[in-house]
Amino acid sequence: MPTSVLDLAPVVPVVVIEDAADAVPLARALVDGGLPVIEVTLRTPAALDAIRAVAAAVPDAMVGAGTVLTPAQVTECVAAGARFLVSPGWTDRLLTAMAASGVPYLPGVSTASEVVTLLERGVREMKFFPAQAAGGTAYLGSLAGPLPQARFCPTGGIGPDNAPEYLALPNVGCVGGTWMVPADAVGAGDWDRVRELARAAAGLRTGLGPGGGSGVRDAGGTCR
């Protein structure tokens, strides 16, 4: 059985919600397409309402909060129903708050020193961000030898063309991306398009492709 958010699906959609009314149909399309783990970023005023709506109406979705920057946001997101937390980076105060939140969390790193520091604190699973700008697969793969304890969800500059290269790395559990939730499709309410893009993304690791199933593994556990 998997023990981590990183093991639930090969791709975590990173979602920016402008209108909270879009959150539930968007989440249903992603889940139907085989991507049940959904990161709603705190980049818009609608984010918390979107998390709240998905948590209440789409039980098959594991909705989390991204771009978490402060301890106050940790509290707000968990209260809204977020089941995991993701940050682009971390501070001592933020890390303490996330660790005390009671939900899985992925603090962001981009250097070996940051990884070592988190390992010292008992954190083994992290977001690697911004993945492409921070060195891409060459850099991330080079960390696997000296730091095999660390596992990553790389995000930033990842799309369907390079996602398989990341997923092939031994220290990558999943990748984060936005390509299956294009702004024009969300704005138009084209949930069929989102569903098909999600289905293709879910098949990246398994090689099933758009028509061959979800590629999603069983849910469970934490990401600490």
Residues noted as catalytic:
39, 127
- Within 13 A of 215's CA, how many CA atoms are on the CB side? 25
Q: How many other CB atoms are there within 10 angstroms of residue 41's CB atom?
A: 19
Structure-token match 């940790």, residue found: 74
Rounded Cα gap, residues 52 and 81, in angstroms? 6
Q: Which residues of 170-201 are buried (b: 16+ CB within 10 A; e: fewer)?
A: ebbbbbbbbbbbeeebbeeeebebbbbbbbbb
- How is residue 207 written in tokens? 């090689």
How far is Cα 181 from Cα 201, in angstroms, rounded to an integer?
11
Sheet holding 37-41, edge to edge: 105-106, 85-86, 62-66, 37-41, 11-15, 175-177
